[in-house]
Amino acid sequence: MSDVLICGAARTPFGRSERSGREHAIAAATAALADAGIPWSRVGAAFGGSDAAGLADTLVADLGLTGLPFVNVKNGCATGGSALVSAVNAIRGGMADVVLVVGFDKHPRGAFDPRPADWGLDDAYGRDGLMVTTQFFGMKIQRYAHDFGITPRTLALVAEKAYRNGSRTPEAWRRKEIGADEILASGMVNDPLTRFMFCSPGEGAAALVLCSSSVPTRDAVVLRSAVVRTRRRGSFEVFSPVLAAGEPTSVSRDAAAAAFEAAGLGPSDVDVVQLQDTESGAEVMHLAECGFCEDGEQEKLIASGVTEIGGTLPVNTDGGCIANGEPIGASGLRQVYEVVQQLRLRAGVRQVPGEPRIGFTHVYGAPGVSACTVLAR
């Protein structure tokens, strides 16, 4: 199977601004094309989407009316990852040899406000407060912490690292360092998660230019694999109101394992990692679910600095969702952008030492969907 290359990558600043979601998308797409050194007229197909900021295919009104196929993708937090999988398949299937992928969003202030009916749930599920995502995340990490000995201080250390890395990332939303003690004292939201342990809905865009190995490129990164998976029976996920008896399953475990198998690599080969960290507990659990440690080993790994930029397994070097916020359509592609920068040795003050060669990204979202990639130099 021929290689698929990432030859251009870009993002916009995340947070809040006067820009529309579409304006973010156009800026990211234009910058990614410039990074690749490829004009829009050379792009043979495009895939992209957002959760709340409009239709990606309408971007052609600003990028150029070339008549190319532009497919809208909407798959929750896996929107970017799903668009990326579509682009890979387009190249491998011969549809085009140069493909643009773009994800963008602009969310209003406050928590996400999903409707039970949109997720196949009875209205009573919402009336009982179970559509509040912070409650789900609190319940999930509380159970995990009980079973595997994860302490609140470890959750605070995850967030402390996120804000420290965010302070080194020019495009991040939260760029002020916050210490673990302040994070622990920031006010309980859903036990054991405090206010500063969560990310916030925001705005921004990220874009990638993919091409086949037959296209001349400069400073390209190989996309070894890109996969999307949905939950199997027995999983405990956002807006999944039943935890079935028997051996539990995990969509993140499934997606990560499939990505590594397709890449012909394993977790021990990875030099830099991006994990979904909607809140601190998510990063802790996803470390194990994606195969980077055993359940319960996170306490020691995090305390010893293994997941820091200078550690042996740097995680969320740009500050992750906690520092960047989460514009849903852009979040997964923001992760890939960061790993591309790390593998190109372009990450500046947050650059992982030792010339990393293999990177991994993971995104997770409702109602139990995960997208993972493996990248290489």
CB of 90 closer than 8 Å to CB of 48? no
Q: How many beta carbons lie within 10 A of that of residue 61, not counting itself? A: 10
Higher pLDDT pick, 234 / 373: 373
Cα separation, 374 vs 336, whole angstroms: 9
Average pLDDT over residues 81-109: 95
Question: 3-state class of 277 per DSSP?
Answer: coil
Q: Is the pLDDT of residue 1 over 70?
A: no
Q: What is the mean pLDDT of residues 308-335?
A: 97
Rounded to whole angstroms, how far apart are CA atoms 274 and 360? 6
pLDDT in tens, 270-291: 999 999 999 999 999 999 999 9
Going by C-alpha positions, the residue among 322, 368, 314 that lies closest to residue 339 is 314
Q: Is the model more confident about 175 or about 112?
A: 175
* Over residues 14-26, mean pLDDT: 96
Query: How confident is the prediction for the chain on average, in pLDDT?
Result: 94
Find the farthest-apart pair of alpha carbons in the chain and give their distance in angstroms, rounded: 56
Nearest alpha-carbon partner for 272 in 300, 308, 222: 308
Region 33-53: mean pLDDT is 96
DSSP output for 167-235:
TT-TT-S--S---HHHHHTS-EEETTEEGGGB--B-EEEEEEEEEETTS--SS-EEEEEEEEEE--TTB
In contact, 182 and 157? CB cutoff 8 Å: no
The mean pLDDT of 127-153, rounded to a whole number, is 90
Residue with tokens 């969560």: 198
Cβ atoms < 10 Å from Cβ of 283? 28
Confidence (pLDDT) at 241? 67
Residue 113 clears pLDDT 90, i.e. is over it = no
Instruction: Give the rounded percent of residues in the chain with a pLDDT score beyond 70.
Output: 99
Residue 123 has a pLDDT of: 87
Which segment of 60-64, 137-141, 333-337, 340-344 scores lowest on mean pLDDT?
Answer: 137-141
Q: What average pLDDT does this structure show over 14-21?
A: 96
| pLDDT confidence of residue 229 | 95
Q: pLDDT band at 365, cuts 50/70/90?
A: confident
- Whole-number pLDDT of residue 282: 96
Cα separation, 63 vs 70, whole angstroms? 12
